[in-house]
């Protein structure tokens, strides 16, 4: 079998690309192109097995393979085409989706951050210099695939990045058998940048980085506008630049003053991509004053600069002045639902500790304390400065005296004694671990500890575990694994098609963190209804059977049917484990089927997040109602004086109507990560 290793060995020994053996890499590329593959796609199909698990491979050469593979999307199919020294092609089984990205350790890199980390781990340039891979044809392939310009390595030929469109399903006949190539994921029409039109100013931006940004934007629903004779199209909603001076070089003040959209620093895009959601634009706006019209010599001041962790960028300012300036420049109101998002991770040293405390208190059954940390984290994450003194956070919402004491200890010592105490306490540590098993609540975790169990292996022999808990234990690591957004999107489409097969016209929406625009999801919350208000009855039983026949649903955790008897407001529920097509890794999935008249409440509840849902419930209580996923019910008083709820919910046609009725500012799904 000839893979890319052999191809490069041949090329190193050969002076010219065209002198390679007949039927080798070039010949296979030609065949793939002839059967309908684009050149970049053909290259992708040749790379997968080239460098994985070869411990003897030269590190510089390996860097080239990692570079070519790691920046690509995961391979979707089960079959690969490979070349041989014989004048024909064959196929080889690829046991795991994404195996083109398998690293030496066997890790499947199907997450953008990991792929980028892998691609930058070694020096591509040094490897190319050492091996003297100067073939123009190879360079053209790399440039065509990634839009790269590498003049420092002697490559002057730059081919514009083609619209390397996503794979379309194609069939290749081979030895009287049919090989179907998988479909590559398309752009996400509901991505976090959906409906936005961008113009990217390239001044001061590396070509490669610009290409990556463009790719990410289009993948997540954005439209890119090209330059038209130094003017800005009225379609453009967002103009991105490195700083105000790059604006000055690109467009005249007259054009910019006429521009009706938003001008932002590229850092806004970077932070949005990191967080998996659009961060608030306010702190990233590029402002220019009247002096801007005087020409390039005038100095423009960005409203926000990333170079300093504090809002005050004067190097001569004292620390205390920075702290005071932080509070003045970035006032935060009492309702943190309206808080602007700011760059993430500036205070990760605090939020990571609080996150651990959330899990511990949840496992201990202390929801009140757990939720207090849950509320504090997004407030701290939004801060555009690194906390250096507790005085900076005294007036922030959700940061009470106890939280302030924690922050002071973390800032001054780098640790929190409360967390260290919990982590050193065997009982707390063990109960927290058991509480992470699906189906094991705080009370059960405590009982398991009292029976003498101290680790997950101990639980395997406990006969008191229910079937659901046993499954949660068996697939403990699988369930903890985050699911990339593109895979969730693909599974949502699969679920929609399967539902349509069972019941035409049915509505299937993936809620939770996916609907909120997050880059990864812990599980999938599927909300289902039918517009006629009656066909949903009995649907879930047929739907689950169909999904099992497809080998998508694998194990059942909870299955309850109420629509046929009219109990529990007619809501049918299925909790289970599913698998991404072609893979055995289990993911948690919840299916909830609602009658049409209460579907809006189910959609709000299962979209989240917890903070939004809690605030909506509190507002409902203040107005004399009770809110849950089945409706908004007027609260009345029984003869004994106790508050009870009416059995009939108010009717609303949309989520927005519910928000407005309760007096809560309307938030699009992607804005509900508060």
Q: Is a pLDDT exceeding 80 seen at residue 366? A: yes
Q: Residue 170, SS3? A: coil
* Residue 219: predicted pLDDT: 82
Please name which of 396, 387, 402 lies closest in space to residue 350, comparing C-alpha atoms.
Answer: 387
Please write the tens of the pLDDT for every residue from 503-517.
999 999 999 999 998
Judge if pTM exceeds 0.85. Answer: no
Q: Is a pLDDT exceeding 90 seen at residue 135? A: no
Query: What token pair was written down for 528?
Result: 């289902």
Please write the tens of the pLDDT for every residue from 298-345.
333 333 333 333 333 333 333 333 333 333 223 222 233 333 333 455
Q: How confident is the model at residue 621 (pLDDT cuts 50, 70, 90)?
A: confident
Domains belonging to the chain, first-starting first, are 4-180 (no CATH), 197-294 (3.40.50.10190), 425-474 (1.10.150.20), 483-594 (3.30.460.10), 607-671 (3.30.210.10)
H or E element that contains 632 = strand 631-637
| Burial status of residue 475 (CB atoms within 10 A of its CB: 0-12, 13-18, 19 or more) | buried
What are the beta bridge partners of residue 160?
none
* Residue 119: predicted pLDDT: 46
* Residue 518: predicted pLDDT: 86
* Residue 85: predicted pLDDT: 26
DSSP assignment of 493-541 equals: HHHHHHHHHHSTT-EEEE-HHHHTT-SEESSEEEEEE-TTSSTTTTHHH
Please write the tens of the pLDDT for every residue from 528-540.
999 999 999 999 9
Q: Is a pLDDT exceeding 80 seen at residue 595? A: yes
Cβ-contact 525, 550 below 8 angstroms: no
Query: Measured between alpha carbons, how far is 292 from 301 in angstroms, rounded to an integer?
Result: 10
Q: How confident is the model at residue 434 (pLDDT cuts 50, 70, 90)?
A: very high
* Residue 528: predicted pLDDT: 98
Alpha helical stretches, state H, 341-381: 348-363, 367-381
Q: Residue 396, SS3? A: coil
Q: What is the CA radius of gyration of the chain?
A: 28
Cβ-contact 643, 637 below 8 angstroms: yes
Active-site position among 406, 530, 587, 670: 406
546 is catalytic: no
Cβ-contact 291, 298 below 8 angstroms: yes
Cβ-contact 48, 69 below 8 angstroms: yes
Q: Is a pLDDT exceeding 80 seen at residue 21? A: no
Query: Measured between alpha carbons, how far is 272 from 191 in angstroms, rounded to an integer?
Result: 12
Neighbours of 672 (CB within 10 A): 20
């Amino acid at each position: 079998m000839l893979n890319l290793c052999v191809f490069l060995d041949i090329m190193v020994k050969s002076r010219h690309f065209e002198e390679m053996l007949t039927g080798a890499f070039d010949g296979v590329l030609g065949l793939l192109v002839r059967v309908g593959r684009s050149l970049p796609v053909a290259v992708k199909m040749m790379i997968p097995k080239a460098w994985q698990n070869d411990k003897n491979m030269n590190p510089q050469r390996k860097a080239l393979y990692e570079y070519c593979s790691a920046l690509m999307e995961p391979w979707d199919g089960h079959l690969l085409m490979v070349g041989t020294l014989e004048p024909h092609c064959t196929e080889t089984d690829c046991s795991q989706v994404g195996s083109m990205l398998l690293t030496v350790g066997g890790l499947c890199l199907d997450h953008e951050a990991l792929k980028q980390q892998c691609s930058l781990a070694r020096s591509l340039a040094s490897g190319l210099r050492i091996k003297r891979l100067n073939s123009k044809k190879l360079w053209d392939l790399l440039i065509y695939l990634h839009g790269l310009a590498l003049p420092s390595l002697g490559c002057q030929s730059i081919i514009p990045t083609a619209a390397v469109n996503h794979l379309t399903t194609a069939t290749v006949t081979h030895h009287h058998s049919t090989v179907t190539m998988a479909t590559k994921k398309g752009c996400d029409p509901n991505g976090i940048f959906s409906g936005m039109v961008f113009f990217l100013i390239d001044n001061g931006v590396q070509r490669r980085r610009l290409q990556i940004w463009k790719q990410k934007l289009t993948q997540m629903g954005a439209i890119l506008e090209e330059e038209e004779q130094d003017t800005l199209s009225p379609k453009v909603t967002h103009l991105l630049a490195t700083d105000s001076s790059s604006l000055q070089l690109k467009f005249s003040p007259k054009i910019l003053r006429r521009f009706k959209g938003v001008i932002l620093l590229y850092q806004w895009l970077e932070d949005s991509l990191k967080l998996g959601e659009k961060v608030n634009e306010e702190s990233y706006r590029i402002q220019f004053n009247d002096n801007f019209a005087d020409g390039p010599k005038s100095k423009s001041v960005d409203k926000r600069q990333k170079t300093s962790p504090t809002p005050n960028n004067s190097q001569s300012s004292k620390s205390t002045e920075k702290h005071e300036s932080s509070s003045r420049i970035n006032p935060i109101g009492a309702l943190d639902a309206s808080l602007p998002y700011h760059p993430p991770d500036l205070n990760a040293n605090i939020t990571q500790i609080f996150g651990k405390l959330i899990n511990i208190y949840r496992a201990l059954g202390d929801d009140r304390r757990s939720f207090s940390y849950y509320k504090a984290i997004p407030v701290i994450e939004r801060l555009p400065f690194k906390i250096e003194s507790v005085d900076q956070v005294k007036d922030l919402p959700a940061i009470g005296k106890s939280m302030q004491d924690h922050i002071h200890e973390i800032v001054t010592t780098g640790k929190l004694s409360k967390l260290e105490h919990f982590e050193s306490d065997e009982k707390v540590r063990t109960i927290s671990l058991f509480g992470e098993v699906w189906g094991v609540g705080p009370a059960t975790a405590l009982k398991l500890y009292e029976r003498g169990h101290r680790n997950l292996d101990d639980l395997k022999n406990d006969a008191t575990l229910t079937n659901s808990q046993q499954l949660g234990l068996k697939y403990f690591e699988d369930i903890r694994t985050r699911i990339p957004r593109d895979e969730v999107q693909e599974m949502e489409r699969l679920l929609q098609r399967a539902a349509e097969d069972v019941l035409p016209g049915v509505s299937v929406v993936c809620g939770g963190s996916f609907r909120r625009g997050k880059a990864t999801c812990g599980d999938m919350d599927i909300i289902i209804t039918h517009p006629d208000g009656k066909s949903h009855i009995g649907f879930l039983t047929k739907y689950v059977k169909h999904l099992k026949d497809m080998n998508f649903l694998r194990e059942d955790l909870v299955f309850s049917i109420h629509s046929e008897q009219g109990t529990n407001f007619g809501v049918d529920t299925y909790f289970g484990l599913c698998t991404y097509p072609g893979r055995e890794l289990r993911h948690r999935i919840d299916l909830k089927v609602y009658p049409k008249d209460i579907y809006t409440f189910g959609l709000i509840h299962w979209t989240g997040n917890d903070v939004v849902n809690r605030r909506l419930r509190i507002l409902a209580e203040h107005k004399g109602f009770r809110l849950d996923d089945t409706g908004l019910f007027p609260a009345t008083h029984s003869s004994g004086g106790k508050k009870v709820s009416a059995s009939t919910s108010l009717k609303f046609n949309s989520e927005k109507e519910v928000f407005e009725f309760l007096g809560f500012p309307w938030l699009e799904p992607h804005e509900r990560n508060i």
